[in-house]
Structure 1
Amino acid sequence: MLVLLIVHLVAALLAPLLVRRWGPRACLLLALAPAATAVWAAAHTGAVRDGGAVVETYQWIPELQFDVALRVTTLSWLMLLLVGGVGALVLVYSARYFEPGSVGLARFAAVMVAFAGAMLGLVVSDDLLLLYVFWELTTVFSYLLIGHSTERRSSRWAAAQALTVTTLGGLAMLVGFLMLGHHAGGYRWSSVASAPLPGGGYLALAVLLVLAGALAKSAVFPFNAWLPVAMAAPTPVSAYLHAAAMVKAGIFLIGLLGPALAAAGPWRPVTVVAGLVSLVLGGWAALRQTDLKLLLAYGTVSQLGLLAVLFGAGTPKAALAGVAMLAAHALFKAALFLVVGILDHEAGTRDLRDLSGVGRAAPLLAIVATLAAASMAGVPPLLGFVAKESVLAAFTGDPFVLAVLVAGSALTVAYSIR
């Protein structure tokens, strides 16, 4: 795992030189870095399939007992496949999306690879403080990617808003980590999770602070406003950060900590209520959009809310449904963002009111878009259908939550058809 991090660092440092030499085609070579992550994860499937873990530990700051502690279990293994696989495909896509001589291409390529490395570090960190370091690196790199078009005020504003919300949430999360680690006598999550948890208001405050960071990162209510604004970013950035990577970081954290903290007082109420509100509000807002990227953005807010409910519920059935939904969402939403990028690139518009006859002009693109939208809507036998069935089955014993989930699913079908 440490070797993979070094590979990403070296690739990011070399990216400007490669882009100056080969232009956008350099992205094809740079795609090998995240592809190596996906290949590594696939090669270690057997180690985590039956509940095992891949562990690496390197001494870093012995005076502070701060080591580079890396650990891959089932959830982080899935995230590695998504972060690496989708990251590689997005970089390959970028080789054709950007024109030779595009302004800021060298910076984009370097930051994109660096972001993929930061996400890799985030999902494999076993030390909570190390996780926070990578967490904030993703925040900084996402700021640079969202604000790629520096000449546009809207782009700079979107980047600043995303940076402000996620950084403040991250600082709150850090305080929560410090409280948990101080009580447990260390910051290794594998050890903190097995230690007796503190009681009363101490644990409740720590949980609320951690959830503030997770919900802010994943644009779950009440922190959902920054994600649609971030659509000012280039489409490859939206496809990666806002479908498969950055916004999944908060969901990943909820899934990682949930088994140990779900019984804590505020955990379930906060995650479930915030998630349900995001599910409905995001789906309703998506129905009102005419810009395809904004439609997908509000749909992402809605589905991130659904994921927060699943991983926050704290039951095995809900967690398994969450894993299925996590994979399905990353695949169909990344594909849809990339389709919209092609439409915008070729037709010069993303406005639904101006697009007509695309299926006749680009039948293969229409087939890909239809399959991805059908998976988003939960049409059998696609992966989205399997995930949605698992979601509904996980909450058959909770009529209120189930009713809201059905309403949210109906909205998802409606904007998918649209």
Structure 2
Amino acid sequence: MPEKDKNPVDISTSSTTNNYITRTNTEVDLVPENPKPDIQEESKLPPLDKGYSWVIMFACFINTIFGFGSFSAFGVFQTYYLKITFLNVPAETIAWISTLSIFFTDAGGLLAGPIIRRLGIRYTSILGTIVATTGLLLASFSTKVWQLALTQGLIFGLGCSIIVNIAYTVPAFWFDKHRGFAIGTVASGGSFGSLIIVPIVTNISNSHGIGWSFRVLAILFFVATLVGGMLLKPRTEYKPVNKVIEFELLKDPVTIMICVISFFAEIGFSVPMLYFPASLIDIGVKKDLATNMIMVFSAFSATSRILSGYLAQRISAENIVIVSHFISGTIMMAMWYTSRSFGVYLAFYILFGMFSIQFFSLGPVMIANYYDDDKISQVNGISYLAMGVAILVGVPSIGAIFQKYGKRRDYSQIIAITSACYLISIIFLVGLRYYVKKRKLS
């Protein structure tokens, strides 16, 4: 007779639905500590993938329209600052405005968990609305770089971070079969938001100045995210960990690799978003057309985010991101770096819109699959902290390179750097895919 296993595994505690990673004695526990509710208890909960689940998806979609859609308007603001408002201010100084805004939007998400524990999901989201709107209103009266860094950067960023963290976390509680599609659709909100926000900001800044652009954006932001926040609620009682950072997660290889990928992906994505409209102007494109090109990017980006979420239900999310990052890094050098033709630039921007954003759509899907519900918000926050650090370190440095070596007209150096960021991220994506598969089988 075959020898019995000397270390039998208790199936009831070693695996869990929608978690690829199993528990070991030396790694972070990524599976539920408490047993799942029995069938009778589960039947009393709202159903997954139907009914109010779609209301949740809609509410989170609305919030990301303005939470991340506002970033697209920063391309308009950045161009306005570089070409009109701060002509005599160094590019690396101007870069601090958008740098701080993106940094606090990313890193501030870690505050969401402890606040949710005290106020609940709905009122925490509404708090984010109030803070972010205040930042936009104060920015409308700002005339100096440091004032915009404080208002558009710090205040707006912190409020926005709470809204975004919740928007990416809550759908995981309400969806199982259609989780990839739901989170992908929510992630597409930022791209659809560009189609709404960019033309409004562009037209108002041309006719009434940048101050009124901020004020109108503040009104739209307040109304939309207030409605979205009021529709939110957890499917079951949700008590995230009462810590800004759970340091045990920082020791886990999966969290580490996700953070490294987040770091490089954020730099690779942010630089074209901030500098591509200005590069169009430098090849002879009119300012209005250059900023309106952001809408072209956003249309293809929105479609791609939804499609990637749908495909993630059938294809590994990691594989989708690997292919997308390879294409993004390659076309950046093959098209943006080598050409000064508007036609080539247009083709590049369309392709970049389709492939550059897949990690931002599928990263939350991967995290929701790897971790239990009470850790999703925390890991999302840590991932966005890595993105914030990338912005804080990368964008000012690239602005300095653009100022010193590019003389504010040569984009070749920063294009090469951002292309390298996408290609480097592939190494860690492959490592993540291999490690998750290995741990799943162990």
The reply to whether TM is greater than 0.5 is no
Q: Which has the larger radius of gyration?
A: 2
Task: Determine which structure has greater relative contact order: mean sequence separation of CA pairs < 8 Å that are 6+ residues apart, divided by chain length.
Answer: 2
- If the length of structure 1 is used for normalisation, what is the TM-score? 0.33
